Amino acid sequence: MCGIVAAIASQDVLTTLIEGLQRLEYRGYDSAGVALLNSDGKLTRVREVGKVAALEAALALQPASGKVGIAHTRWATHGRPSQSNAHPHVSGEHLAVVHNGIIENHEPLRQQLRNEGYTFTSETDTEVVAHLVAREFDRTGELTAAVQATLSQLEGAYALAVMHAEQPDTLVGARKGSPLVVGLSEEGYYLGSDPLALLPVTRQFHYLKEGDVVSLTPAGVVIHDEKGQVVTREVHHFAHEDSATGKAGYRHFMLKEIFEQPKAVADTLSSLLGDDRVRIDALGPGAAALLDSVKQVHIVACGTSYHAGQVARYWLEELAGIPCQVEVASEYRYRQVVVQPGTLFLTLSQSGETADTLAALRFAQARQDGQGQSAYLGTLAICNVPGSSLVRESDLCVLTKAGPEIGVASTKAFTTQLAALMVVVLALRQLGQGASDEEARIVAGLKALPEILSQALHLSDDIAELATKFVDRHHTLFLGRGKQYPIAMEGALKLKEISYIHAEAYAAGELKHGPLALIDEDMPIVAVAPNCELIEKLKSNLQEVRARGGELFIFADPEARFTQGDGVHVMTLPICCPQLAPILYTLPLQLLSYHVAVLKGTDVDQPRNLAKSVTVE
């Protein structure tokens, strides 16, 4: 949420900054800006409302250059998207700053600075930081010290990049609550919200820790921890393919990422499966000891990741006999949830930087029992980003191998989370009940899954045809029962976020208790209906809908025995291991949303008002 890129190099850095912004655009796209220090020590700033392309057009008319620069793509929090609210923000003619996060005490600080004579030209919280650093620089004459003195006055979350015309050979970055990496190369040093931003110039990174302040100069990189001590941070090599730039011939990143799912699931599972059981040792050192003591699981996540947790609840209770509670992180973190002895705290996140999920993890880690011991047995993260805060701060981590997900709507991250969750559930089952035929059947199902997912993707053209029936609708209901209910929730979320059609999901058995009143000829009903022990009950629910004029769009397998007919459209999926049907049935729902959005002409990869990686509360 908001993207930062900054550079200090031996060559002009504008191209690096603009390319970095394009690669970070998924984090926010309501405005973008850049500030550069040229060889005369003059600061030039260009900002534009809209996407990075609009900034590029502005730069064509108002050229800027320099070997030191900072840049930003914004997702508005304080103040509407406008040129004056776009970053970088400046104080006077010398200092410029870009910021990701929220400064919670910006109001009193603004008042105090106004009383001292500072003027404000934006509605943002960030402008306060600009003036504070400028004030501290006037006192100390040194940028790193000025930033450190400023940080002690800030409450809230930030990643910052700051430069000052009177110290043109220094770029300073800081992080607390929002991600920031340092890129290292022969030609220069860089800051980025995500390593993806900097892959054209480097693959070597330091991941800053909470409270770190970093100074980049031509002589090198110096990192101070939150106590002000100089520290060394490990250098990580970014090994992923650089898939961020290309859509590999697909029209959108989202479609590319939908089609990558067979491989992403196979990659995620590759090291986790033995011949006929899951490999508990592959879950990391200490995994067996920790999981062996689990009596209960609390799963906490946001959005799509939360839906994956909802599926896992069914699996945990049915396959491992372990009670499970699933909650959105924004609620969990403000509740005094009762923690029974032996409870595992499990988080799910694509990015590993989601503010609420991270805060929930820290809150859980701080909880204590009556004896002053940790209330939770331990913490486990399932995450797609190695080195992310969630991964670093959890006891155990299972990495999904989806590769970078650029489309704002999450697709392959979700299905790989489900695959990893099933491995964790089977590990818990194995530890509690020993190896079993059921585990062997599901492991075989997991191995067959990538091929079955590929078959389901062949339905894309048929689903595009079906999508024409949704384009003019204003509302849609998604129905499922059992572990397909969370898949209906995920289907509804995908449709609303990229096509802007209002969609809701219900457990089909709940229809009669109210939502049936909504049903008429204008209300399409999407049903997730693989053959399972609840299929006859679901069929009865669908009859009740059809009897009231609702048009049915049913995703089912041949064994569910649905018949196409007047107002009943059936899309037939391959048969898969019943426990794994939630993973399979996600794909056609993603495709449905995708094709509806394309027909409606919405911005599929960057839907309005949204951003990927929600690093503010």
Q: What residues are labeled active site?
A: 2, 612
409 lies in the binding site for ligand F6R (CB under 6 A): yes
Say if residue 209 is exposed, middle or buried (CB neighbours under 10 Å; 0-12, 13-18, 19+): middle
Q: Does 330 bind ligand F6R (CB under 6 A)?
A: no
Q: Is residue 92 within 8 Å of residue 165, measured between CB atoms?
A: no
Ramachandran area for residue 178 (φ above 0: left; ψ -120 to 50: alpha; else beta): beta
Inter-axis angle of helices 581-600 and 460-467, nearest 10: 50
Amino acid, single-letter form, for residue 409: A
Q: Using CB under 6 A, which residues numbered 464 to 493 contact ligand F6R?
A: 493
Q: Give every strand in the sheet of 220-224, ordered side by side.
A: 89-91, 95-103, 156-164, 171-176, 213-217, 220-224, 230-231
Give dist(CA 49, CA 239) in Å, integer: 34
- Longest alpha-carbon distance in the chain: 78
Q: Contact with ligand F6R (CB under 6 A): which of 77, 91, 310, 354?
A: 354
**Backbone torsions φ then ψ of 483, nearest 5 degrees:** -75, -5
Give the closest residue to 252 by CA, choosing from 381, 407, 134: 407
- In 3D, which of 529, 530, 515, 510 has the Cα closest to residue 476? 515
Shortest Cβ 616–ligand F6R spacing (Å):
11
Closer to ligand F6R by CB, 16 or 305: give it.
305
Count of residues of this chain found to bind ligand F6R when the rule CB under 6 A is applied? 15
Helices marked H in 171-293 = 253-259, 261-270, 287-292
**Position 243 contacts ligand F6R (CB under 6 A):** no
Q: Which stretch binds ligand F6R (CB under 6 A): 50-58, 153-161, 347-355, 548-556?
A: 347-355
Quote the distance between the C-alpha of residue 563 and its chain's center: 39
The least CB distance from residue 163 to ligand F6R, in Å, is 30
**Residue 108, CA distances (Å) to 27, 58, 89, 158 in order:** 29, 35, 19, 18
**Among 73, 350, 389, 476, interactor with ligand F6R by CB under 6 A:** 350
Residues 249-308 binding ligand F6R (CB under 6 A) are 302-305
Taking the complex as a whole, how short is the minimal distance between the CB of residue 398 and ligand F6R, in angstroms? 14
Which of 44, 77, 330, 410 is close enough to bind ligand F6R by CB under 6 A?
A: 410
Least distance (Å) from ligand F6R to the CB of residue 405?
Answer: 8
Q: What minimum distance in Å lies between the beta carbon of 300 and ligand F6R?
A: 10
Measured from the CB atom, is 100 or 202 closer to ligand F6R? 100
Residues 346 and 380 sit within 8 Å (Cβ to Cβ): yes
Which is closer to ligand F6R, CB of 215 or CB of 400?
A: 400
Closer to ligand F6R by CB, 307 or 569: give it.
307
**Given the rule CB under 6 A, which of 23-31, 89-97, 345-353, 552-560 is the region that contacts ligand F6R?**
345-353
Identity of the residue, 144 or 350, whose beta carbon is nearer to ligand F6R in the bound complex: 350
CA distance readout (Å), 538 to 22, 73, 463, 481, 595: 46, 46, 22, 7, 26
Residues 122, 351, 586, 615: which binds ligand F6R (CB under 6 A)? Answer: 351
Q: How far is the CB of 320 from ligand F6R (least distance, A)?
A: 23
Are residues 547 and 501 in contact, defined by beta-carbon separation less than 8 angstroms?
no
Nearest distance from residue 611's CB to ligand F6R, in Å?
9
Residue number closest to ligand F6R, CB atom: 303
Distance, in Å, from the CA atom of 31 to the CA atom of 103, rounded to the nearest integer, reads 19
Identify the burial level of 217 via C-beta atoms within 10 angstroms of its C-beta, where 0-12 means exposed, 13-18 middle and 19 or more buried: middle
Q: Please identify which residue in 488, 527, 614, 616 interacts with ligand F6R, judged by CB under 6 A.
A: 614
349/613 Cα distance (integer angstroms): 9
Closer residue to ligand F6R, CB minimum distance, 144 or 606: 606
**Which lies closer to ligand F6R via its Cβ, residue 409 or residue 552?**
409
DSSP 3-state of 346: strand
> Residue 192 CB, nearest distance to ligand F6R (Å)?
17
User: In this complex, which beta carbon is closest to ligand F6R, that of residue 70 or of residue 299?
Assistant: 299
Pick between residue 214 and residue 489 the one whose CB is nearest to ligand F6R.
489
Q: Which residue in 357, 379, 400, 476 binds ligand F6R (CB under 6 A)?
A: 357
Nearer to ligand F6R among residue 159 and residue 614 (C-beta): 614
What minimum distance in Å lies between the beta carbon of 410 and ligand F6R? 3
Binding to ligand F6R in span 209-238, by CB under 6 A: none
Residue from 142, 497, 551, 557 binding ligand F6R (CB under 6 A) = 497
**Token output for 364:** 């859980």
DSSP H helices in 275-398: 287-292, 303-315, 329-332, 355-366, 389-393
Label each residue of 382-448 as H, E or C.
Answer: EECCCCCHHHHHCCEEEECCCCCCCCCCCCHHHHHHHHHHHHHHHHHHHHHHCCCHHHHHHHHHHHH
Smallest separation, CB 549 to ligand F6R (Å): 31
Measured in whole angstroms, the distance separating CA 253 from the mean position of its chain's CA atoms is: 15
Q: Nearest distance from residue 302's CB to ligand F6R, in Å?
A: 4
Q: Which two tokens stand for residue 355?
A: 């503010």
**CA gap 177, 353 in Å, rounded:** 8
Nearer to ligand F6R, 254 or 523 (CB): 254
Q: Rounded CA gap, 69 and 163, in Å?
A: 8
Whose CA is closest to 178, among 154, 153, 202? 154
Interface residues toward ligand F6R, by CB under 6 A: 302-305, 349-351, 354, 357, 409-410, 493, 497, 613-614
